[in-house]
Chains A and B, each alone.
Chain A
Amino acid sequence: MLISCPYCGPRDVSEFTYQGDATRTRPDPASADAAAWHEYVYERSNEAGPHREFWQHAGGCRAHVVVIRNTVTHEISSVAPARGDRI
C-alpha cells in the first residue's frame, strides 16, 4: 500500500502508523456527557467501504494525515493533512 503524504510524496505503508477512525468527534474537554465520551473513545463506524482514518507518517515527517481508504479494496482515494494550516 502506498500513501501519498502531502508533505513527502508517495511512501510505503511501512513508514506510517495507523491512528484509526477519523469520524469520531471528541466532546468538549469539560463535558461530563458520559455517553458522548464513550462513543468517542470506544465506538467505531468500522465501515466496509470508504473509511475516513488517520495515519501518522511516523517514519517520515511525523505529520498526521487524513486518508480516505476503501477497507474492502484498500484503494486510497484521498490524503490530506490532518492539520490543514501546515502545508
Chain B
Amino acid sequence: MSPRRTAAGGRIDRARTIRFTFDGKPMTGHLGDTLASALLAGGVTLVGRSFKYHRPRGVFAAGVDEPCALVTVIDGQAREPNVPATQIEIFDGLVVESQNRFPSLGFDLGAVNGLFGGLFSAGFYYKTFMGPVVGPLKGTRFWMLCEWFIRRAAGLGRAGDAKDAARYEKMNAFCDVLVVGSGPAGLMAAKAAAASGKRVMLAEQEPLFGGAARWSGETIDDAPAERWADEAVAELAGLDNVRLLPRTTVWGIYDGNTIAALERVTDHKASRARGEPRHRHWSIRAGKVVLATGALERPLVFPGNDRPGVMLARAAGRYAAEYGVLPGGRIAVFTNNDSAYRAAAALHRAGATIAAIVDVRAQVSAAASKLARETGAEHLTGHAVVDTAGRQRLRQITIRRFDAASGALSGAARRVEADCLAVSGGWSPAIHLASQAGAAARWDERLQAFLPPEPTGGWVGAGSFTGAFTTQEAIAQGLAAGAAAVGATPAASKPPQAGGPDLDVTPAPVFEIRAKGKAFVDLQHDVTAEDVRLAHREGFVSVEHLKRYTTLGMATDQGKTSNVPGLAIMADAAGRTIPQVGTTRFRPPYSAVSLGSLAAERHGELRPERLTPMHDWHIERGARMLAAGLWFRPQIYGQPGETVEQAYAREAAAVRAGVGIVDVSTLGKIAVQGPDAAAFLDRVYTNVFSSLPVNKARYGLMLREDGLAFDDGTTWRLGEHEFLMTTTTANAGKVMQHLEYFLDVVWPDLRVNLTSVTDQWAGAAVAGPKARDVLAACVARTGVDNEMLPFMGIVRGEIDGIPVTICRLSFSGELAYEVYCGAGHGLAMWEALMEAGKPFGIVPYGLEALGTLRIEKGHVTGSEIDGRTTARDLHLGWMLSKKKPFIGSAMMDREGLASPERLQLVGLVSLDNRAIANGAHIVEGKQPPDDPHGSIGHVTANCFSPALGRYVALALVKGGTSRHGTRAHISDPLRGRFGPVEIVSHHMFDPEGSRMHG
C-alpha cells in the first residue's frame, strides 16, 4: 500500500486494488477512490496545466468545485474531455490522459506564456493584433493569422470524433418533494417528507449519501456522523415512497418546478450491462424542492496560491477522512475561519504531520485553539502566507505577520517546510439553483457570504445552503423544510443531536493577502488579483464587466471557488462593498452536463420517419426515395442505365401517352364535418364551397390573414355536412392548426368538427388517356364513365373487394383520378390498380415526373406558394370570390400586394437546349459582377419536358406577365450557368385543358 494511505477508515476498500492508467502510466488505487484520491495516494501532484500560462496544477478540491485537476477520460474511441479528477470513480481498466500540455505534462512548452504575464494581462487581446490598415494583412487578415496560433494554445481537452457507442436516456419523473443534497439537512428533510407518505426523491451528486456527515468527524446521536447518515439512508431506502438517486446532479430549475438532473449511471463501471445507459437525463416535476445543496469552500488569494499541493482545507480533510489518503506528509493550514481546524484535526488523526496552522485572525475561538493544540501544530495567529516555493509541487511556504483589519504585513518572513497547504477563505452557500429560479442573492456581512433569495414558493432551503453552518442547525432546518414541503408540522420528538467542537462559523473578512508575486483568483483561467485591479482601472467595475473582461468565473467550474474572492478584490479596488459590485446571476447547468444526455434517445433518430402503406412496394420496384418533410416519397423508378432525367422523362411521357400511377398518400387530408362545414369552408377558402354539390370536388385556395397565399388543394363534398379537404404534403399540419385556431378562437359558434385523416387514407392517382380504362377494368359497384364520373365528380366503389372513393381530378393535366382507400388496404389497392393497368402499360411514376407534368401545366406547389406570393402573383386571382369575405380578403389588396412590379409566375423555355436549374436567377442582360442588382426573379421548378421536347421551368419574375414573349437569361453563378431563355405563359402545355376534360 502507498505510504500516503492510512491504515483504516473511509469509503475505500483496501482489499480491492484497482488498476488504471494515467498518461499511459499504470497506476493503482482502491475501490471507492476517485481519480484524485488515487493520484494523491500514488504521490502524483502534477495533474494538469492552467488555461493561459500553462502553469503546473494539482488537485485543489475534492468535489464538483475542482478548477485545476482536469483530465480526459478515454473509453474506446470515445473521449470525454475536461472531467475533474475529483469526480471520476476509478475502475479496472480506466484510461485517463492529462490535457492542455505539449509535449508532456511535466515539460510543457506553453509554460513560456508565463514569462509574458505582464503582456498577457486581462483583456490584452482587445488592444492588439489589429494589424496594418493596408497591404496583404489588412482588414481581418492579420488578426486571423494571430488567431490561428491563439486557438491552438487555448482550449483544454480534445473532443472525440467517433460516434459514441454508449446509450443515453431520458427519464420523466413526478414527485411531491425532491430533496437536493444529502447532508444532514437533506437527509432530515427527506425523512420528514417521507413520513407523510408522499412521493419523495433524494438526489446526491456524489456516489455516497451523507454530505458533510461523511467527513465532519462529528457525532450525531452519539454515533459517528457517517454511521448516522448510513442508517438514515438505509431507512429511506426501505420506504416505497422514496426514490434515492446517487451520482445525480440536479443542474437546473426551470419553470413550473421542472427540475433537470443528470444521473451518471455507469461512468464508474468498467463495462455497461446490455441496454444500460451511460447517463440518464432526468426531467422531474416536483411539487416542492428542498434545496440542501450545502456550501462551497473558497480559497484565500495570495502569491503562489496555485502551486500543486495547495488545496482547499475541506478537500484535504476529506481525502484523509473519506479516502484514507494524506495529501501531503507535512501539511500546513492557512485560514480565516474555524472550519479549517476541523480539517487539520482530521489530517492529524489520519497520521499527517501538521507543520503549522496560519490564521489571519489575531484571536480564534477556544474550540479552534483546542483543536490546534491537539494537532501539535505551531499555531500562528495574526499571520498570513505570503508566498510559496517548489517547482511542480509545494516545498515551502513563506509567512509574515498580518493585520486582518488593515491587510498590512509586518515583521520578517519566515519559511516553513510543507508539501501541502490546506487553505480556507470561508464558505459560500451553493445557491446556484435558487438563483436560477429567479431573485438575486443577499449578502450577509456576518457570514461574509451570499445567501439565497427569499423562497419563491417552489422551493424551501435547509442547512448550510441557507447559511446555517452548524450541523445542529442543519438538522433542525432539514426537519422543518421536509415537513413544510409536504404541508405538515415537524414531529414533536427531539431531533437528532449533533456532537462536535463548538466552532465559530464567522470568517474574518479577509480575501486576499497582498504581497509580491502572482496571486490567482480563478485558478483555471489564470485570472490574477492584479487582473481584477486592472479591470477596475479600465472601468470594468460591474460584476458582469469584471467577469467578461477578465474571464473570471467563466472556466469549467463556473467560478465556484473564484467568484466571491474576485468580487471582494474588485470591491476593495473600487471602494465599494461586495453587494454594491453585485453578484452574477447563476445560469444552468450547476455543473457541466453531457450533450449526449440532453440529446438522449432522440440522438440518431432525431425525428420519426413517415412511410406510406406502399413504401415497401416502391423500394422493391427500385424507387429512389426522397425526403419530403418527415415523409419519404419515390423520386423515380429508375431502370438500369437510366439517368434521373431519362427516368422521369420516360415516366412523364408514359403518362401523357398511356397511363401512370403515383402514390399520393402523403397529401394532407382533413375531415371537415358538421352542419356548418360548408359555411366554414366559405370563410376559409377564397372561393365558394357552399354551392358545391354532394359528390363533387372543387379546387380551393386559402390565404393567410395577411392576404398572402397559404395553401391549395381539392376539397370533396362527400355529404351535405361532410367534406374531405386535401392539403399539400408540406402544409398538412399548418393547415390543420390554422383551421383549428379559427374554429376555437374566432368562430366557436360554428358547428364543425375537424379530424386529421392523413394517415387513415391511402391514395393513388391514376393519370393518362388510358386512366379510365384502367379503372373500368378493376372498379366494381360503380361506373367510371364520363356520365357517372364527370370531371370533379366523386364515386364510391370497390377494387378487389376494397371500398374505395374515387375523385376525377387532375394535377397532371391528363384524364386522371385519385383513388382513396383505408390505409390498411393501401398496398392491396395499389397492386390491384397495377394489375388492372398491365394491359394498358401502366407505369408507376415518382415525384420528378409528377413535377414535370405539373410544370408543363403551370400548376403551383409550395415552391411558388412560398409565403411571399399572392393569389394574383400566381394567376389565381380568378379564385378570389367577390361575393363573400374570407380569411385574408381584407388585407390582400394592400398597395404592396397589388404592385405590378411584383414577382409573377411565368414559364421559361430554354433557348440553348440546356437545363434551367431551380434556384437560378433571371437577368435581363449581363451576369454578375457586370450587372449588380440585376436579378429580376428566380426559377422555382424545372424539368425536361417530354411533351414539349424542351427544357422548361416555372419562375417568379418581376412584372412577369408583361414580359411574355421576351428573351432573358438565366444566371446561376453558383453552378456556372448562364444562358438565354424565353419568358412564356406558365400554361406551357395544353392551355385549354382539353385533355383532362376528355
Q: Note all chain A residues with C-beta closer than 8 A to B745.
A: 19, 22, 54, 64, 82-83
Q: In the complex, A72→B746 CA distance in Å?
A: 28
Name the residue in A64, A73, A76 with the highest tally of chain B Cβ atoms < 10 Å from its Cβ: A64
Q: A15-58: contact bitstring with B at CB < 8 Å (1 yes, 0 no)?
A: 00101001000110111101001101110000000000010101
> B256 interface residue, CB < 8 Å from A?
yes
Q: In the complex, A85→B749 CA distance in Å?
A: 9
Contact A1 to B254, CB < 8 A, known contacts A27-B890, A56-B737:
yes
Cβ-neighbour of B258 out of A12, A27, A82 (below 8 A): A12
Query: Do A85 and B256 touch across chains, with their CB atoms under 8 A apart?
Result: no
Q: How far is the CB of B473 from chain A (nearest CB, A)?
A: 31
> A8 interface residue, CB < 8 Å from B?
no
Query: Do B748 and A82 touch across chains, with their CB atoms under 8 A apart?
Result: yes
Query: Do A74 and B258 touch across chains, with their CB atoms under 8 A apart?
Result: no
Contact A56 to B748, CB < 8 A, known contacts A2-B256, A2-B258, A29-B683:
no
Contact A83 to B744, CB < 8 A, known contacts A1-B255, A2-B258, A58-B737:
yes
Q: In the complex, A58→B734 CA distance in Å?
A: 11
Query: Do B891 and A41 touch across chains, with their CB atoms under 8 A apart?
Result: yes
Closest to A84 in B: B748
> B102 interface residue, CB < 8 Å from A?
no
Q: In the complex, A64→B891 CA distance in Å?
A: 25
Interface residues of B in 862-914 (CB under 8 A from A): 885-886, 889-891, 894
Interface residues of B in 688-740 (CB under 8 A from A): 705-706, 737, 740
Q: How many A-B residue pairs lie within 8 Å, measured between CB atoms?
A: 65
Q: How far is the CB of A84 from chain B (nearest CB, A)?
A: 7
Contact A64 to B740, CB < 8 A, known contacts A29-B885, A54-B745:
yes
Contact A41 to B706, CB < 8 A, known contacts A2-B285, A82-B745:
yes
> A63 interface residue, CB < 8 Å from B?
yes
Interface size on B, residues (CB 8 A): 24
Closest to B889 in A: A29
Interface residues of B in 208-258 (CB under 8 A from A): 254-258
Q: Note all chain A residues with C-beta closer than 8 A to B254.
A: 1
Q: In the complex, A83→B760 CA distance in Å?
A: 27
Q: In the complex, A50→B533 CA distance in Å?
A: 43
> B496 interface residue, CB < 8 Å from A?
no
Interface residues of B in 736-788 (CB under 8 A from A): 737, 740-741, 743-746, 748
Query: Do B741 and A56 touch across chains, with their CB atoms under 8 A apart?
Result: yes
Query: Do B746 and A26 touch across chains, with their CB atoms under 8 A apart?
Result: yes
Q: Note all chain A residues with C-beta closer than 8 A to B889.
A: 29
Closest to A42 in B: B706
Q: In the complex, A1→B256 CA distance in Å?
A: 5
Q: In the complex, A85→B740 CA distance in Å?
A: 15
Q: How far is the CB of B741 from chain A (nearest CB, A)?
A: 6
Q: Note all chain B residues with C-beta closer than 8 A to A75.
A: 255
Closest to B683 in A: A29
Q: In the complex, A64→B898 CA distance in Å?
A: 34
Q: B437-473: contact bitstring with A at CB < 8 Å (1 yes, 0 no)?
A: 0100000000000000000000000000000000000
Cβ-neighbour of A74 out of B255, B706, B748, B890 (below 8 A): B255
Query: Do A41 and B255 touch across chains, with their CB atoms under 8 A apart?
Result: no
Q: How far is the CB of A6 from chain B (nearest CB, A)?
A: 12
Closest to B254 in A: A1
Closest to B888 in A: A41
Q: Note all chain A residues with C-beta closer than 8 A to B886.
A: 29
Q: In the complex, A3→B438 CA distance in Å?
A: 19
Q: In the complex, A42→B705 CA distance in Å?
A: 10
Q: Note all chain A residues with C-beta closer than 8 A to B894.
A: 34
Query: Do A64 and B705 touch across chains, with their CB atoms under 8 A apart?
Result: no
Query: Do A30 and B885 touch across chains, with their CB atoms under 8 A apart?
Result: yes
Q: In the complex, A54→B743 CA distance in Å?
A: 13
Q: In the complex, A32→B438 CA distance in Å?
A: 46
Q: How far is the CB of B440 from chain A (nearest CB, A)?
A: 14
Query: Do A32 and B890 touch across chains, with their CB atoms under 8 A apart?
Result: yes
Q: In the complex, A54→B737 CA distance in Å?
A: 13
Q: In the complex, A75→B894 CA distance in Å?
A: 39
Name the residue in A34, A62, A76 with the highest tally of chain B Cβ atoms < 10 Å from its Cβ: A62
Q: How far is the CB of A70 from chain B (nearest CB, A)?
A: 10
Q: Note all chain A residues with C-beta closer than 8 A to B438.
A: 73
Q: Note all chain B residues with C-beta closer than 8 A to A40.
A: 705
Q: Note all chain B residues with C-beta closer than 8 A to A27.
A: 890
Q: B583-597: contact bitstring with A at CB < 8 Å (1 yes, 0 no)?
A: 000000000000000
Q: How far is the CB of A2 from chain B (nearest CB, A)?
A: 3
Q: How far is the CB of A18 from chain B (nearest CB, A)?
A: 11
Closest to A83 in B: B748
Q: How far is the CB of A41 from chain B (nearest CB, A)?
A: 5
Interface residues of A in 1-15 (CB under 8 A from B): 1-2, 12-13
Q: How far is the CB of B410 from chain A (nearest CB, A)?
A: 53
Q: In the complex, A5→B744 CA distance in Å?
A: 14
Interface residues of A in 57-73 (CB under 8 A from B): 58, 62-64, 73
Q: In the complex, A3→B598 CA distance in Å?
A: 22
Q: In the complex, A29→B889 CA distance in Å?
A: 9
Q: Note all chain B residues with C-beta closer than 8 A to A54.
A: 741, 745
Q: How far is the CB of A42 from chain B (nearest CB, A)?
A: 8
Closest to A17 in B: B737
Q: How far is the CB of A40 from chain B (nearest CB, A)?
A: 8
Cβ-neighbour of A37 out of B737, B740, B746, B891 (below 8 A): B891
Cβ-neighbour of A19 out of B258, B741, B890 (below 8 A): B741
Query: Do A85 and B741 touch across chains, with their CB atoms under 8 A apart?
Result: no
Contact A31 to B285, CB < 8 A, known contacts A1-B258, A56-B741, A85-B748:
no
Q: How far is the CB of A79 from chain B (nearest CB, A)?
A: 12
Q: How far is the CB of A65 from chain B (nearest CB, A)?
A: 9
Q: Note all chain B residues with C-beta closer than 8 A to A42.
A: 706
Q: In the complex, A82→B889 CA distance in Å?
A: 25
Q: Note all chain A residues with C-beta closer than 8 A to B705.
A: 40-41
Query: Do B744 and A31 touch across chains, with their CB atoms under 8 A apart?
Result: no
Q: In the complex, A82→B746 CA distance in Å?
A: 9
Q: Note all chain B residues with C-beta closer than 8 A to A31.
A: 890
Q: In the complex, A1→B283 CA distance in Å?
A: 12
Q: How far is the CB of A35 from chain B (nearest CB, A)?
A: 11
Q: Note all chain A residues with C-beta closer than 8 A to B744.
A: 56, 63-64, 82-83
Q: Note all chain A residues with C-beta closer than 8 A to B257.
A: 2
Q: Note all chain B residues with C-beta closer than 8 A to A13.
A: 255-256
Q: Note all chain A residues with C-beta closer than 8 A to B737.
A: 17, 56, 58
Q: Note all chain A residues with C-beta closer than 8 A to B746.
A: 26
Q: Note all chain A residues with C-beta closer than 8 A to B255.
A: 1-2, 13, 74-75
Q: In the complex, A58→B740 CA distance in Å?
A: 10
Q: In the complex, A50→B165 CA distance in Å?
A: 47
Q: How far is the CB of B674 from chain A (nearest CB, A)?
A: 13
Q: In the complex, A1→B257 CA distance in Å?
A: 8
Q: In the complex, A30→B885 CA distance in Å?
A: 6
Q: Note all chain B residues with C-beta closer than 8 A to A56.
A: 737, 740-741, 744
Contact A62 to B258, CB < 8 A, known contacts A37-B890, A54-B745:
no
Q: Note all chain B residues with C-beta closer than 8 A to A30.
A: 885
Q: In the complex, A54→B746 CA distance in Å?
A: 12
Q: In the complex, A82→B683 CA distance in Å?
A: 20
Q: In the complex, A39→B741 CA distance in Å?
A: 19
Closest to A12 in B: B258
Q: How far is the CB of A75 from chain B (nearest CB, A)?
A: 8
Q: How far is the CB of A54 from chain B (nearest CB, A)?
A: 6
Closest to A69 in B: B255
Known: A54-B745, A83-B748. 18 other contacts (CB 8 A): A1-B254, A1-B258, A12-B258, A13-B255, A13-B256, A19-B741, A29-B683, A29-B889, A31-B890, A34-B890, A37-B890, A37-B891, A42-B706, A64-B741, A73-B438, A75-B255, A82-B745, A83-B745
Pairs of residues from A and B, 9 with the lowest C-beta to C-beta distance, nearest first: A2-B256, A64-B744, A1-B255, A29-B885, A83-B748, A74-B255, A37-B890, A82-B744, A83-B744
A-B residue pairs in contact (CB < 8 Å), sample of 9:
A2-B257, A2-B258, A2-B285, A13-B256, A17-B737, A41-B705, A42-B706, A54-B745, A74-B255
Chain B interfacial positions (CB closer than 8 Å to A): 254-258, 285, 438, 683, 705-706, 737, 740-741, 743-746, 748, 885-886, 889-891, 894
